Amino acid sequence: EDKVVQSPLSLVVHEGDTVTLNCSYEVTNFRSLLWYKQEKKAPTFLFMLTSSGIEKKSGRLSSILDKKELFSILNITATQTGDSAVYLCVANQAGTALIFGKGTTLSVSS
Amino acid sequence: NAGVTQTPKFRVLKTGQSMTLLCAQDMNHEYMYWYRQDPGMGLRLIHYSVGEGTTAKGEVPDGYNVSRLKKQNFLLGLESAAPSQTSVYFCASSYDASGRTISYNEQFFGPGTRLTVL
């Protein structure tokens, strides 16, 4: 069965901390992996990863994909309260649609 | 550009009632999707469409029907609502010029519709 597993399911950190969110996947005909940030509204796109070992960065966020070990990580450095959200890891499967993980809830306290 | 819009934003139904959720996008996207989001379950795909006049089942299609009569609109219908359909529904769209496979490009999401079935 195709699946995307995220860990931890929830995380509480202090402002300024660095966090790493994990995502492992077992998906047949895997095409790419996407990360979304969801606050109290629709998910917003962060990254799309298609190649192993190439880090994508956007400000304090970065992500990398390992297609051999079937996982991805999302790093957030110098966390801020505005980073508090649910982070969704999504695998794109050729021929069908997207397979979503259950998300990691990040809470950043000031 | 309004992006992806959903109508209505909130709705309360009684068991057995029917309703239609409307999703509209103005980005000329080929693909459109309907998801439901429940606590602890993540997002689950209900139905999707790869072009005007086409629809396909997703992960949890039972109890729902969809139609894509116009490229910019994707309708989700509940024929006889049940309490198990209480959820937040998200519509999304994406563009793919590569052929028949589902796009792996970024999906743009609507703001969601919160549906409660009593």
Torsion (CA) A75, A80, A84, A87 in degrees, nearest 10: -20
From A5's Cα to the closest Cα of chain B, the distance in A is: 11
Segment among A43-47, B39-43, B65-69, B93-97 with least mean pLDDT = B93-97
CATH number, domain with residue A75:
2.60.40.10
Average pLDDT along chain B? 87
Peptide bond into B8 cis (omega under 30): yes
Using the beta-carbon criterion (under 8 Å), do A94 and B110 form an inter-chain contact?
A: no
Using the beta-carbon criterion (under 8 Å), do B90 and A43 form an inter-chain contact?
A: yes
Mutation for testing the B interface, residue in A100, A104, A105 having most B CBs under 10 Å = A100
> pLDDT band for position B101 (50/70/90)?
very low
Q: For the segment A77-101, what is each residue's pLDDT rounded down to a tens digit?
A: 999 999 999 999 998 876 556 788 9
Domain count, chain A: 1
Taking CA atoms, A31 is separated from A48, A49, B2, B14, in Å, by 10, 9, 29, 41
Domains in chain B, start-ordered, CATH in brackets?
4-96 (2.60.40.10)
Using the beta-carbon criterion (under 8 Å), do B44 and A98 form an inter-chain contact?
A: no
Does A32 contact B at CB distance below 8 Å?
yes
Interface of A with B in 64-93 (CB under 8 A): 88, 90, 92-93
Q: For the segment B25-51, what is each residue's pLDDT rounded down to a tens digit?
A: 998 888 899 999 887 777 888 998 888
Mutation for testing the A interface, residue in B60, B89, B96, B107 having most A CBs under 10 Å = B107
The residue among A69 and A2 whose pLDDT is bigger is: A69
Distance CA A14, CA A17 (A): 6
Residue B102 in contact with residue B54, Cβ under 8 Å? no
Q: For the segment A23-33, what is each residue's pLDDT rounded down to a tens digit?
A: 999 988 888 89
> pLDDT band for position B97 (50/70/90)?
low
> pLDDT band for position B74 (50/70/90)?
very high
Distance CA A27, CA B3 (A): 30
Residue span of the structural domain in which A94 resides: 3-109
